[in-house]
Chain A
Amino acid sequence: MTTPAPYVSEPALLEVRDLRVHFPITRGTVFRRTVGQVHAVDGLSLKLATAETVGLVGESGSGKTTLGRAIVGLLPPTSGTILFRGLPFGTKGAARGHAGRSQLQMVFQDPTASLDPKWRVGASIAEPLRVNHVGTRTERRERVSNLLEVVGLSPGHARRYPHELSGGQRQRVGLARALALNPAVIVADEAVSALDVSIRAQVINLLRQLQDELKLSYLFIAHDLAVVRHLSDRVAVMYLGQIVEQAAAADLYSDARHPYTVSLLSAVPVPDPSVEARRQRIVLPGDPPNPASPPPGCRFHTRCWLRKRLGNPERCAAEEPADQLVSVGHTAACHYAHEVPENVRLSVVGPSAEPAS
């Protein structure tokens, strides 16, 4: 489905091939039976190179969190392959025991919920080391001090409890724990969304700095398109379990070709009153459809403004669109990807939207 981005010359560090994660919908308490399937991730392919950040955007229910969890092994995939350094993780429970698993770590949205309130911060950070029998007690303690410094806290924080820390500090602890086993890939699921603006910027800068120093790869999952743009080399847009558009960040934001991407970009409030006063918005009607019963054909056709403009062609409702190549490394899964008017593409993020140099 997805063609490899040509500038990724070496084999991708992480590759997801035609991944599906379905959840059964059950009825009844005693005689539980399956009455349907939620297609949370439905035939998705993605590549991540060393020291690269891929941003994953989409609305709630698009399957971006499910994808992230499947990649780090928290959810068994229904089908498909996840390759790490060219070796498959396999499906259905075979995930456990793969030596590469510790190389993939996750940072969660809510640092309050992801840290045990009864544990000192140092114990939480040391847990992955302990579980994997890394080092002696003293060595682990040293490593924890070191990790705390790496994320911009002081070694003294190891003795504190989560409730004694601010939200930003807690998220740094979550990051330190994720870094404990020297991972190659970090899946960051809305990792900065719960933070206040001034603190969020600190954590964003920290993520960038860590990537430079440790050559980390990020799969950065977020609904905030501005944050994703800031951190990502490439961006993939998800809608109902599938990637509908994928491109280098600069291309996606200046030359979006999938009508869903265009409307997402046009819906983001821009912190500049002069832009807000002038820009054109495409407001989508209705809510995203239920992922348990996605619409036939193109999944977006029920809300698509472009289809309406083109006189509601039948093809959208009948035929699932394949990826169209827009330019090098830029694909859009829309039958009419080349029909998005140029003035619409250029106006969505406001008059100052020049392709970034």
Chain B
Amino acid sequence: MDGRAQAAASDPVLRVRDLSVRFDSRRNVVHAVNGVSFDLEVGGALGLVGESGSGKTVTSLAILRLLPRPAARIVTGEIWLGDRDLIRLSDREMRRLRGKEISLVPQDPLSGLNPVLTVGEQVVETLRAHESIRRREARHRAAELLGTVGIPRPSDQLDRYPHQFSGGMRQRVLIAIALALRPTLLIADEPTTALDVTVQAQVLDLLHELTAQHGTAILLISHDLGIMARMTRRIMVMYAGYVVESAPTVEIFARPGHPYTAGLLQSIPRVADAGRPLTPIAGSPPELDRRPRGCPFAPRCAWALDVCWREMPSLAPMGALSFSGGPRPVGHLLACHNPVAADEVEGGRPLRPGFRPAPPPEDGLVAQETT
């Protein structure tokens, strides 16, 4: 039975509201996450896309309450898992919840496992931390779990150490641990980046199958739009700590509204059409140690208006302001003063006669340098 279809209409398992995270260093303050809000429904599959420094990993660490202390602090926001605000929980309550209700599949399978404990001990540890079961029974369950993630001869593998497993097998072990207690939310942060493409396919299939089976919601973090297309129902695009666009996966690919999203889609070569030239986004992502005035993407944006340099638009349903003419479905949220029209996506620049991107204001309050 597909848990996803059945659970689609129910309440969100995770509600994040106005989350902002800062990192303090001696010299400056890094604005890592700026007012991020989203819902993830039971059994849903949400993708978080963005480049390095966009705040996607920091967002996920905030949800797990695993931000490095004291450097990072959550300045505003609420993170509701069911009826509990995770930000208000004590460390002890949070420990009880982690692994049981929310769990994490990290990027690097080697650092996610303890090298001096056998794989069996690590699975057993997770089980016994949350359930009062005997060691023997836990071991039996551990073998079963390793079996479900496709590790051959699981009982024989329990006494082996992580280094004796291949990268793909280690990632399977981590998935087994993450899903051992059937959490309601699984956060997977670049779960296959370290893996070869054929092994990646195995691991993605496994993640999809298991989360669908148990109705586990998945928050998938990746920079790979191909993985997003395969695995998610909805995608949030982050830039410089802001969510700049959020829409159903099909919609993001078919009709991106934000110039950054459109730019990303034009920046990726595709296996199926080789001749198409890439249209990269000019410039590079901003440094986050100054809170930019206006939209952080303005310095790289071909659609920039004067207002973009002064005011960060809020994330709002895409509607009448659309240039494309076509109706946008419910649930397409966008933070942009001047969205990309449907016919402008492919060329990667505005097609309106006489349009020039607004230059930075001359009053010296430029958000960041444009090189």
Contact = CB atoms under 8 A, between A and B. Distances in A.
A226 interface: yes
Interface stretch (B7-15, B94-102, B223-231): B223-231
A229 B275 CA distance: 9
Interface residues of A, number: 52
A350 B198 CA distance: 17
B226 A353 contact: no
Given A199-B51, A201-B268, 17 more contacts: A196-B285, A198-B264, A198-B284, A201-B280, A226-B270, A263-B198, A265-B271, A267-B200, A269-B200, A269-B224, A269-B230, A271-B268, A273-B253, A274-B250, A283-B201, A285-B202, A287-B169
Contacts of A89: none
A322 interface: no
A356 B274 contact: yes
B272 interface: yes
Interface string B261-299: 001111111111111011111101100000000000000
14 contacts: A198-B284, A201-B267, A204-B278, A204-B280, A226-B268, A226-B271, A227-B269, A229-B271, A270-B229, A270-B272, A283-B198, A284-B201, A349-B271, A350-B271
A268 B279 contact: no
Contacts of A267: 197-198, 200-201
Nearest to B165: A287
- For the complex of A and B, list the 5 residue pairs with the smallest distance between their C-beta atoms, beginning with the closest: A269-B226, A201-B280, A230-B269, A201-B267, A267-B201
B224 to A, nearest CB: 6
Interface residues of B, number: 47
B126 to A, nearest CB: 25
Interface of A: 59-60, 166-169, 196-202, 204-205, 223, 225-227, 229-231, 249-250, 253, 263-276, 281, 283-285, 287-288, 349-350, 352-354, 356-357
Interface string B187-223: 0000000001111111011000000000000000001
A264 B223 CA distance: 20
Contacts of A225: 197, 271
Nearest to A203: B280
Interface string B222-265: 01111111100000000000000000011001000000000111
Contact of A356 (B196, B224, B265, B273): B273
Chain A CB within 10 Å, residue with most, of B227, B228, B264, B269:
B269
| A contact patch SS | helix
A272 B253 contact: yes
A268 B197 contact: yes
B168 interface: yes
A159 to B, nearest CB: 15
A249 B249 CA distance: 30
A223 B198 CA distance: 11
A249 B274 contact: yes
Contacts of A350: 271-272
Contacts of B201: 266-267, 281, 283-284
Given A166-B284, A357-B275, A197 B269 contact: no
B259 to A, nearest CB: 11
A341 B228 CA distance: 29
B6 interface: no
Contacts of A196: 51-52, 223, 285
Contact of B197 (A59, A199, A275): A59
Given A271-B253, A271-B270, A205 B277 contact: yes
Nearest to A231: B269
Contacts of A353: 271-272
